[in-house]
Amino acid sequence: MYMKKILAGALIVLVGIGVISFKEDDRNFQIAKNLDLFNSIFKELDMFYVDTIDAEKMIQNGVRGMLALTDPYTEYYPEEEMSSVKELTTGKYGGIGAAIRYYEAKDRIAVIEPTEGMPAAEAGVKAGDIILAVGGKEMVRGDMKPQDFSEKVSQALRGEPGTSFILKVMRPLKNDSTILEFKITRKSIRTNPVPYYGMVRDSIGYLALSSFTENCSKDFKKAFIELKQKGAKALILDLRDNGGGSLSEAIDIVNFFVPKGQEIVVTKGKLKQAQGSYKTENEPIDTKIPLAVLVNGGSASASEIVSGSLQDLDRAVIIGTRTYGKGLVQTIRPLPYNGTLKVTTSKYYIPSGRCIQAIDYAKKNADGSVARTPDSLTNVFHTAAGREVRDGGGIRPDIEVKGDRIPNIVFYLMNEDIIFDYATQYCWDHPTMESVESFKLTDEDYRTFKELVKSRDFTYDRQSEKMLKSLKEVAEFEGYMEGASEEFKALEKKLNHNLDRDLDYFSKQIKTYIAQEIVTRYFYQRGAAMERLKDDEDLEKAISVLKDGKQYSEILSVKKTPEAK
């Protein structure tokens, strides 16, 4: 009997192994079969299709279709796009240092913002300049899509550091325009990850970090030490709209505030090399300084590692709105013919053990769409002090500050370049600006802006009108329109499009965007950051918390349950 049991157990094990082996063989067969089918279908099309097909375009579209079934972060870069990969990871590229985009009014590419201290700015190129030619080659759109046209001009402007070319632009003036030429020598451009830092109130320092590119921790460290030397006794770290980047740089920045040897991130993936533990490796700068971190829906990836780790370790108060929720890690893999694949290889888990990934891309709906994990399905974890935090759905702030929603009218004013054009016009009339602090958009300035808006015959879609139209259609379909026609007419009258009313009603929000665009023309990204801080609810809340030591400590400690009497 005993021998029969042993044999039966062995049989179960062997059968189990056989099943696993069969499944693996079946999967390998399916892969080989479908690759063979893809290859055969392409050969048949290439040989028999009535028109000549673009082989490279067709196959690359097939590759992108395949990757679309994974997640938005798994991407293929052919050899000609390798510069994009390098810029993504290092923040460096060879060029002139200027942001550009399609400008519909002229069907050309316009310079949006030269970078401070870079070749374009040094040569005298200004925001608003319309690019006509690069190195003697006319830059015209033809039948290209605006996005492809922008990419074409961008590639023409980039090149090996040290090479020179003539940039021909049209500069709009108040009542005319003029053609200008600049000789520009390209150089190695590195995006500044710390656009602004300074003292904001009494002994409170402020530091904005825009990306986690290569060596950004060194820039951060330099700025942080300088703030401490200026007397900073508390620090506000601004990670709003920081989409992330390097994992190692994020850990190095956390390391400035927590002891050496602290585990910050654990990665878990299918393969052994995708699994790992990442700890702080250096002595910190300051483990005691009160710290507030500003976040919003644009804070993702490495930004969430920093804010989430500091929250899990009870090292900082997180303020703002919930972060994006990207808990995935990508790895760069080389491909034949100098191509590159950026592929998601693991999920990361911060000190409390939670993963903040908001979307499970493995669970797509029938139509290919995906949805965020509902709060009801998230799990509770605990910080080092025992505070409750949750996984899924990003980092939830300790103090939530609901920012103002951007009105529809602002979106259209920006989309139609009216705010951009007004800033160009403002610079005609004001060649210099004394300082960011002294700048204020006056009522007279805003009247001039309103005149420009009206001169463009500006119209925009209003959500109230769209919803009213939909409601009328539903009422008619369900047979309620006859009895409600007078009410609908009254409501239509009240919701009648009135541009003057809208420009006045939303003047505060519109002025904010105009002011930021104008200040950027004179003081670049540094000035834009300073202008944003003038009326910043998140910043004011952070200052308030950091100035109140008792409140700061209470937020970072577990609330005691009152004893029953």
Catalytic annotation, residues: 301, 312, 326
Continuous segment of H or E residues that includes residue 235:
strand 234-238
The C-alpha atoms of residue 139 and residue 543 are separated, in whole angstroms, by 49
| Cα angle for residues 101, 107, 108 (degrees, 5° grid) | 50
The C-alpha atoms of residue 484 and residue 493 are separated, in whole angstroms, by 14
DSSP code per residue over 460-487: ---HHHHHHHHHHHHHHHHT-HHHHHHH
Neighbour tally for 499: CB within 10 Å: 15
DSSP code per residue over 348-366: EE-TTS-----B-TTS--T
CB-based burial label for 468 (10 Å; 0-12, 13-18, 19+): middle
- Cross-strand pairs, 389: 381
Cα separation of the two ends of the chain? 65
| Strands, E assignment, 259-338 | 263-269, 276-279, 291-295, 317-320, 328-335
User: Which amino acid would we find at residue 346?
Assistant: S
Q: Do 312 and 350 meet the contact criterion of CB atoms below 8 Å apart? A: yes
* Sign of the dihedral defined by the CA atoms of residues 430, 526, 298, 240, in that order: negative
> Any alpha helices (H) in 379-536, and if so which ranges?
408-415, 418-429, 443-455, 463-478, 481-494, 499-505, 507-532
Which residues in 226-236 are b (16+ Cβ under 10 Å) and which e?
A: ebeeeebebbb
The C-alpha atoms of residue 487 and residue 484 are separated, in whole angstroms, by 5
